[in-house]
Structure 1
Amino acid sequence: MVRVLTLVDAFRLGGAETLIAQLGRVAGTAGFEMDVLSLLPPSDEHSKLEPLLRESGLTPRYLGIRRTLDPRAPRLLAAAIKESGADVVHAHLEMAMTLAVPAAKLAGRKALCTFHHVHRPLPGRAAWREKLAVEVASRSYRTIFVSEASRASFAEKYRKSGRIPKNWVVVHNGVDLAHFSPGPSLMPPEFGLTGRPVVTVLAAHRDFKGITHAVRAWPLVRAARPDARLLLVGAGNETENLGRQVTEAGLQDDVVFAGARSDVAAILRASDVVLLPSTYGENLPTVLIEAAGCARPVVASRIGGIPDIVEDGVTGLLTPPGDADAIADALISLLDDPSRRAAMGVTARSHVEQHFDAVNWARQLRGLYEEAAAGRPVGTAA
């Protein structure tokens, strides 16, 4: 059985990181063994994923590297790769993949790298870090993109010819549908939402997630459904700005800030609608697959790979990015129609069972891991 060391920048509660916990739940079923390693040292912010990892049967380990250009990093990581007994290394996120490829070579192993986002214009050092990650990752055994929209956006930006390199492949993420499943659930009592219709935004508080547009839409929702509440699950550098926006709009009684949570499946099951109002940069948002797994209808922006998950009018409703009026209209229409919400939820569950099941995803990855461990040239059939 092939053994894989999965490497990330940190054990944050982000979309890419939580996917690793889900992969851990199904790795054995899919036929490979998995270890997890964080480059950054433990901290309150960088260890929030630990409970989910342990729940998945994984033991979190930390390398203690704080920056990409630490001259000790490749040597320390190569030693950790050898110590783990891994046959291959799978890196997620920019810092991890930038270090994984040279370290894996030092350790005599093959590396694979996964990009979880669609390219978008970046300023200054962020642009430099992405460019470096792309060039290094392209020298790995396989560079994985989780949607065709993502692969095409990176090819357009970083390959002048527009030609996609042979080792750039698309593998859709999946989620553990045994964990994210339909069923009764109650909102945590500390939220004070018992008996109320709830619209949940589960996302990092970053500008591109568009949460400000959810808050802008809420006075219109409140006018139609004064009993409904907006639940914001997550944290980030926009939390303070969102809190100020809520206060200035007089929505303190309507919007609940829940912070980062590990009981995501229970919260999704207890939600009436799941909202993702992103404005750019979305690829294949895990939360939308998780919501569908829990048979919840969604309202989301028509950008990136989101239409691969949400069929407009069938499993949810798609709106133009940044359009608060359209968001409000979509939410009101679903909150006012419980039977439509239920029908969308059932169809959404069926859709993700066919296309985004974690076991199928893991089996596709296992095939790539086995090819890499065997040293098979890219493009060669088994």
Structure 2
Amino acid sequence: IGLNLNDFSYKEPLTDKVTFIFIARLLREKGVFEYIEAAKRVKNIYPNVEFVILGGFENNNPFSLQQHEIELLRKEHDLIYPGHVENVQDWLEKSSVFVLPTSYREGVPRVIQEAMAIGRPVITTNVPGCKDIINDGINGFLVPPFESELLVKKMIYFIDNRSKILEMGLSGRLFAEKNFDAMEKNKTLASIIKANH
């Protein structure tokens, strides 16, 4: 239950060059298409902002982004897709803001917990699970699913207000310390089990 926060220690987010990162399977329900649409629009205004996509393809899934599509995006829009990586945490640490515009109701995505633990503000959707850990305007932003227009606005907000990347990232870390610490959760669980035996 939760995270070992020693494995996900706070690292100050990059603000000199703003980098957004998406980490998930490259499926429609995870919001990859909204992320890409927002990235293209933001890059038209702020060409130096970086957009990273980490995640695997599901070639037999009609709702998955395909390899040839990502290659085109890399060429035409300068999106960063490094292929399969083992060191996801390193990529998170080199980012400024974590983005997961999911429409999938999956509880609390672990990758959001990890991003918050290392101090990244989060832009995600107001679906159950995600909306339970993101305090809108405090440790990130909530947008409706399938809403790339609002996603663009929130991304631009961080680009124009870089101190908010640090401020909201720190709020996310404090939230993680209070709510995701596996050591504390396990102690609580052990005491409940002990009390019932």
Query: TM-score interval w.r.t. the shorter chain?
Result: 0.7 to 0.9
1:244 aligns with 2:72: no
Secondary structure of the corresponding residue to residue 308 of structure 1:
coil
1:200 aligns with 2:26: no
Deviation, 1:347, is 0.9
Deviation, 1:182, is 1.7
Correspondence for 1:211: 32
CA distance in 1, matches of 2:137, 2:12: 24
1:222 aligns with 2:43: yes
Is 2:13–2:120's contact at 8 Å kept on the other side of the alignment?
A: no
Correspondence for 1:354: 178
What is the 5 A alignment of 1:135-174? Answer: 173-174=1-2
1:259 aligns with 2:83: yes
Question: How well do the aligned residues superpose, as a CA RMSD in angstroms?
Answer: 2.5
Q: Deviations over 1:107-136 (max 9, x none)?
A: xxxxxxxxxxxxxxxxxxxxxxxxxxxxxx
Is 1:301–1:320's contact at 8 Å kept on the other side of the alignment?
A: yes
Deviation, 1:367, is 5.7
Aligned length in residues = 191
Secondary structure of the corresponding residue to residue 179 of structure 1:
coil
CA distance in 1, matches of 2:171, 2:71: 34
Correspondence for 1:179: 7
What is the 5 A alignment of 1:235-314? Answer: 235-237=56-58, 238-240=64-66, 243-244=68-69, 247=72, 252-314=76-138
| TM norm structure 2 | 0.85
CA distance in 1, matches of 2:52, 2:35: 10
Secondary structure of the corresponding residue to residue 360 of structure 1:
helix
Q: Deviations over 1:144-181 (max 9, x none)?
A: xxxxxxxxxxxxxxxxxxxxxxxxxxxxx411211111
CA distance in 2, matches of 1:221, 1:198: 12
The percentage of aligned residue pairs carrying the same residue is 26
CA distance in 1, matches of 2:160, 2:19: 12
More strand by share: 1
CA distance in 1, matches of 2:28, 2:71: 16
Structure 1: gaps of 5 or more residues: 1-172, 187-194, 372-379
Query: Rg larger in 1 or in 2?
Result: 1
1:324 aligns with 2:148: yes
